[in-house]
Structure 1
Amino acid sequence: MTWKLLHDKVKHQLDFIYADVDLPMPTEELATSLIQTIGLEASDLDKPPTPHSNYWDEEDIIMITYGDSIIEGDERPLVTLNRFLHRYCKNTINKVHILPFFPYSSDDGFSVIDYSSVNESLGNWDDIEAIAKDYGLMTDLVINHCSARSAWFSNFIKGEGPGSDFFFTADPTDDLSMVTRPRISPLLRETETANGTQYVWCTFSHDQVDFDFRNPKVLLAFIEIIKLYIDKGAKLFRLDAVAFLWKIVGTNCINLDQTHEVIRLIRTLIEHVDPSIIIITETNIPNRENLTYFGNANEAHSIYNFSLPPLLVNTLVSGDCKYLKNWMMSMPPAQNGTTYFNFIASHDGIGLRPAEGLLSDDEISDFVHTMQHFGGKISWRASEGGQQKPYEINITLFDALQGTIKGPDKWQVDRFICAHAIMLGMEGIPGIYVHSLLGTSNDYEKVANTGQNRSINRRRWDLSELEPLLDSPYSQHHKVLTRLSQLIRVRKAQPAFHPNATQFTLQLGNQIFGYWRQSLDRKQSIFCVSNISDEEQTVLMSDINLIGTDNWLDLVSRQEISLSSAFLQLKPYQTMWLSNQDFE
């Protein structure tokens, strides 16, 4: 692609984004500035990016962690994290999502004060680059809002300097009744400025002030930030809360066409710098809306599979997989050049909006009550009409799976491993939260100290306390890490677990959840079969339909499967990965 072709494409995207905005500069000039800001020159454009390329494979496993989830003494936490990765994750994890590691004022990093520096309490850019040297680095682009304590917002209050015109304001008399909110706090923040009283838009909290992307200087600032992160080693970008980026008063201000086009523009610029850099959109919204962020393989490379956590956890505590099965059958296969990002636990809670339309209101209510019984907290949102609805469940995944709707039982570890076995085999790239890898329980003390429900799943481990637990064969932490590591190593060796390998949902009743994967070269088949109940289950061999000319092996237990048997017996929460080839 020549400079002119790229310039014309960027200009066309800008013409769409700013069609209803009176710009202070022509889009031709803005396109040139954006291309130069990302660091592209004409000599960089000899070879255009190849469309529909998969820059991932079955070996990709992403660990999600805070920079200080594991600490030791006075050592910089990012240095401690790097040591932990090399000791405990060397043969399992190859990519690391370090949650916002910038100076911040609230929301555990997602209220960024300064996008260009590393939080001194965590370390420095050298520490980030050291991790990026050995692991694919995923970094957050907190693009919807920043901290009210940022220099940009201070300049907004003063009415001069960089950032003085970066923020979205509205009038309290505007019709804001349709605005979709993930919080119940007031939307507008009354702020006294040098230009009089302003009402600043705050989608999340009054410490998180929303940007006004109608101002092209905001877009230019973020392209400059992206360039910095690429220079520091970032290979994956997580666009945080991006669904709320563009606002138009009188609309719901979510998933607007301009938002999608901004993502496509960012994709255009990034893929010309390095086509292997992956954009992941974080859009905690109903499933049908979430899928639109793939675009036509020209928007996000990957989207968070937000419906998976509530559906999978509900499946395992209810002992019934019909909702999970129906959802999986409805999911379109991701075309080449795109893939799902699968996860079942994160630094946030188990989101319930992505379950809307998939679980009934009664099912969601029963699910919420079960999680509360297991020590979970509930965060609420304001729905249309002002009614409060549960937005997410705050609980560690390990404690969420301590039992069923009947109460806690002895199957906690097995149920927990079953959840991950299901997720690890699915189409897409797996993401595993550090506290899932460690089998961490609810942190009630941190909730009491912070007053924030999400703190329940954000424990900060002291490495000197954690290491003896990980090394003791009797601790839940050792059992979880050992069994998860084994599953991950098996998964990474199987071509049929490529994120874009064929997937087909099996019909094995409501207590057995199963699906079939086939490698891209069609040489390997894996039947993934899980007992999601607390009772032993029988699966008829004829229902799985294994090919009689092949030899079959359960990759998990390493046991050969006799085709002369009429059925398989699965213990409670047992998973089998039945394969015609073994690549381990």
Structure 2
Amino acid sequence: MQHPIRYNPEPDYNRPLLQLSEDDRDRLLHYLTLLYGETVAAETLPALERQLRVHYAYKHPETVERDRAFDPKERFTEQDVILITYGDVLQSQDRTPLRTLADFLNTIPTFKDIINTLHILPFFPSSSDRGFAVINFGAVDPQLGSWKDIEVLGKNFQLMFDGVFNHISASSQTFQEFLNGNPRFQEMFITYGAPDGLTPEERETLVRPRTSDVLTRFQSMNGSVWVWTTFSADQVDLNFGNPEVMLRIVTTLLRYVRYGANLIRLDAVTYLWKQPGTRCASLVQTHAIVKVFRRILGIVAPHAALITETNVPHTENVSYFGDGSDEAQMVYNFALPPLVLYTFYREDTSDLTEWAQSLDYPSPTTTFFNILDTHDGIGLMGVREILSKDKIDFMVQRARQHGAFISYRTIQGGQEEPYEINTTWFSALNLDDALEDLSHQVQRYVASRSIALVLRGVPGIYFHGLIGTCNDVASVIKTKVKRDMNRQTLQDAELLTALRDRHSQPAQVVQRLGQLLSIRRQYRAFHPNGDQQVFSLSPKIFAVLRRSPNGDQHILCLTNVTDAEVPIAIPMTDLGITDTQWYDLVGHSGWTTDGQKLTGSLHPYAVTWLIPFGELERMVEETYS
């Protein structure tokens, strides 16, 4: 665990000012020119340089030296596990929700041992969308706590903040100034004088994840105005075509870094740039904005990384890696959740295996964020190019049988298609009324989650996924928001009691999942830069061989995705390893080869992680030498 990055409370201008290299200045000017043209770019660059100098002046000398020695290839390691959570997921009578969360995570030893990074979903003052309609980018919602509470969390965990930069709340001071006719704010938003300002042809070409009208009518001092709202009438899109918007967002980005963010999640970054007549999704200008952010952090905060949240088809999603050095260091692996769900519904790994074999990692400084569940649901866009429509429809119908809701989006021609399955991951895998032992359901659940732990990348687990929560239908009935199926708030005392009861569902899930996470963090074979080889052993088995970056450690990960016992036989020539004795790190048992094949049997939903015994012995000797 790294110590928190230190910043001074005020900028120190007694030290030499930051001097940008010629290359950094040229690249920033290039991106700004692509966005705004030569003249405006030349006018904007000095303001951007000033922001970087201010941030640099805040840096503690210790941080300056630490950044200078920073190795981007070791930004992410096998130690990294990210817990995704709302700031108010836990409630108590005498503490703020954020302080309650901090106390809870420090109370349960298992959590401290398996988690090193917290993604706290938007904790800013907000008017809707569970925090994603931000009123004030620079404040903590007083109903959640304070910046002091964030600081406390940052003492024991690395932190991920949300950069909700695509839009702002209609209740924000910025938008209210626009409505009040303040000339300084008139170009902050994308507006039309009439609803037909956006033609039918332009509307049909538009890609967005909602079925509501993209233009929302507001009454301003200057009369009726129709404003671009990608997500909802309360979330007003910012106009990045105005360089002043870019500068304001850069100020916010750097403020988050000073307040403790090691990772900045670029929410809904797909839609940052609007150009009517195009898809208005993942445009060249959008990528240029991400490159500006990446270059800025590389100059003044190389320890801080970008992660892009782009719930789009896989090919488009991975484009946010850029060339491996100029855009996001981490990208959400949105194809993974629906592929794993489909795999367990069909009890067939064929599609998952074929896709995993095709994964490309563009550089040793980039990797995937491997998630199965999030605060939203199980997005389907990531598999549009991977699974056929029939397979997606099957998955949607099967999820419905498990009690899920389905969210839709408008596609070209005005039709609707499934966009997201709204469910908890536990309920997606297990029927509420199934005649099964809880231990069997937990075994199936943990087996599914193991896929995200063995694939190359950094695993992320949503809070309700870590404790195995079931669907919260009552909240959906109350709020009429389908995504609330997976957003239940809990009393910390009740959860603590449940976790202390080893027979309870949360306790069983945390114990079994915690075991895998604990093992994973001990072995360099799971390093994000370690190679992986995915095997097509059997449609019933997902098999991947992980290798440490320097090649001295191997772990063969096997997951049975079926409700039946499955025999396996792996040719040793395929593994490229001559050891005849192997050890199962999960099951604590030995496996022996006949010199030709590694053979054994996996019980229903078994998770087996095999390491050559010679490598394990060497690791033990090195530890105690």
Identify the TM-score tier after normalising by the shorter chain: over 0.9
Partners in 1 of 2:575 and 2:375 — Cα distance?
A: 40
1:37, 1:220 within 8 Å by CA — same for their partners in 2? no
Q: How does 1:525-536 map to 2 (within 5 A)?
A: 525-536=554-565
Partner of 1:320: 348
1:103, 1:109 within 8 Å by CA — same for their partners in 2? yes
Partners in 1 of 2:373 and 2:255 — Cα distance?
A: 29
Show CA shifts across 1:339-366 (max 9, x none). 1110001101000111102111111111
Match of 2:160 among 132, 138, 142: 138
Corresponding letter in the other structure for 2:210? R
Show CA shifts across 1:491-540 (max 9, x none). 00010000111011101121111111110111111111111111110101
2:580, 2:593 within 8 Å by CA — same for their partners in 1? no
Structure 1 residue 210 and structure 2 residue 237: aligned?
yes
Partners in 2 of 1:260 and 1:167 — Cα distance?
A: 20
Structure 1 residue 19 and structure 2 residue 19: aligned?
no
Match of 1:55 among 75, 82, 88: 75
Corresponding letter in the other structure for 1:371? A
Structure 1 residue 379 and structure 2 residue 407: aligned?
yes
The DSSP-based 3-state class of the residue aligned with 1:82 is helix
Show CA shifts across 1:24-46 (max 9, x none). 97244344344345446999999
Which moves more between the two structures, 35-44 or 357-366? Answer: 35-44
Partner of 1:296: 323
1:413, 1:480 within 8 Å by CA — same for their partners in 2? yes
1:113, 1:149 within 8 Å by CA — same for their partners in 2? yes
Structure 1 residue 82 and structure 2 residue 106: aligned?
no
Partner of 2:368: 340
Partner of 2:182: 160
Match of 2:301 among 269, 274, 278: 274
Partner of 1:114: 136
Which moves more between the two structures, 485-494 or 550-559? Answer: 550-559
Partner of 1:499: 528
Partner of 1:68: 88
Partners in 2 of 1:45 and 1:229 — Cα distance?
A: 17
Q: Quote the RMSD (CA, aligned, Å).
A: 2.4
Match of 1:173 among 159, 176, 197: 197
Partners in 1 of 2:190 and 2:588 — Cα distance?
A: 58
Partners in 2 of 1:308 and 1:187 — Cα distance?
A: 29
Partners in 2 of 1:141 and 1:90 — Cα distance?
A: 26
Partners in 1 of 2:34 and 2:308 — Cα distance?
A: 21
Match of 1:127 among 149, 170, 176: 149
> How far has the Cα of 1:56 moved from its partner?
1.3
Partner of 1:571: 603
> How far has the Cα of 1:53 moved from its partner?
2.9
> How far has the Cα of 1:176 moved from its partner?
2.2
Corresponding letter in the other structure for 2:329? H
1:334, 1:340 within 8 Å by CA — same for their partners in 2? no
1:3, 1:45 within 8 Å by CA — same for their partners in 2? no
Q: How does 1:485-524 map to 2 (within 5 A)?
A: 485-524=514-553
The DSSP-based 3-state class of the residue aligned with 1:520 is coil
The DSSP-based 3-state class of the residue aligned with 1:189 is strand
Q: How does 1:185-264 map to 2 (within 5 A)?
A: 185-264=212-291
1:179, 1:251 within 8 Å by CA — same for their partners in 2? yes
Partners in 1 of 2:471 and 2:102 — Cα distance?
A: 25
> How far has the Cα of 1:85 moved from its partner?
1.1
- TM-score, length-normalised on structure 2? 0.89
In structure 2, the gaps of 5 or more residues are 1-17, 621-625
Structure 1 residue 437 and structure 2 residue 466: aligned?
yes
Corresponding letter in the other structure for 2:404? G
Partners in 2 of 1:333 and 1:7 — Cα distance?
A: 28
The DSSP-based 3-state class of the residue aligned with 2:136 is coil
2:580, 2:592 within 8 Å by CA — same for their partners in 1? no
Partner of 1:357: 385
Corresponding letter in the other structure for 1:540? A
Partner of 2:15: none
> How far has the Cα of 1:159 moved from its partner?
1.5
Partners in 1 of 2:178 and 2:54 — Cα distance?
A: 24
Corresponding letter in the other structure for 2:126? Y
1:49, 1:271 within 8 Å by CA — same for their partners in 2? no
1:37, 1:223 within 8 Å by CA — same for their partners in 2? no
2:376, 2:486 within 8 Å by CA — same for their partners in 1? yes
> How far has the Cα of 1:426 moved from its partner?
1.1
> How far has the Cα of 1:193 moved from its partner?
1.5
Structure 1 residue 561 and structure 2 residue 591: aligned?
yes
Corresponding letter in the other structure for 1:18? Y
Partners in 2 of 1:196 and 1:431 — Cα distance?
A: 47
Partners in 1 of 2:105 and 2:263 — Cα distance?
A: 18
Partner of 1:103: 125
1:317, 1:403 within 8 Å by CA — same for their partners in 2? no
Q: 1:238 to 1:408 in 2, by over 3 A?
A: farther
- TM-score, length-normalised on structure 1? 0.95
Partners in 2 of 1:416 and 1:150 — Cα distance?
A: 42
The DSSP-based 3-state class of the residue aligned with 1:348 is coil
1:267, 1:300 within 8 Å by CA — same for their partners in 2? yes
Corresponding letter in the other structure for 1:347? H
1:349, 1:454 within 8 Å by CA — same for their partners in 2? yes
Partner of 2:9: none
Show CA shifts across 1:414-435 (max 9, x none). 1110112121111000001110
Partner of 1:92: 114
The DSSP-based 3-state class of the residue aligned with 1:26 is helix
1:403, 1:409 within 8 Å by CA — same for their partners in 2? no
Corresponding letter in the other structure for 1:74? D
Partners in 2 of 1:119 and 1:516 — Cα distance?
A: 45
1:187, 1:202 within 8 Å by CA — same for their partners in 2? yes
The DSSP-based 3-state class of the residue aligned with 1:507 is strand
Partner of 1:3: 20
> How far has the Cα of 1:308 moved from its partner?
0.3
> How far has the Cα of 1:272 moved from its partner?
1.7
> How far has the Cα of 1:468 moved from its partner?
1.2
The DSSP-based 3-state class of the residue aligned with 1:549 is coil
Q: 1:15 to 1:340 in 2, by over 3 A?
A: same
Q: Number of matched residues? A: 582
> How far has the Cα of 1:180 moved from its partner?
0.3
Q: 1:479 to 1:546 in 2, by over 3 A?
A: farther
Partners in 2 of 1:309 and 1:24 — Cα distance?
A: 41
More helix by share: 2
2:537, 2:570 within 8 Å by CA — same for their partners in 1? no
Partners in 2 of 1:196 and 1:445 — Cα distance?
A: 42
In structure 1, the gaps of 5 or more residues are none
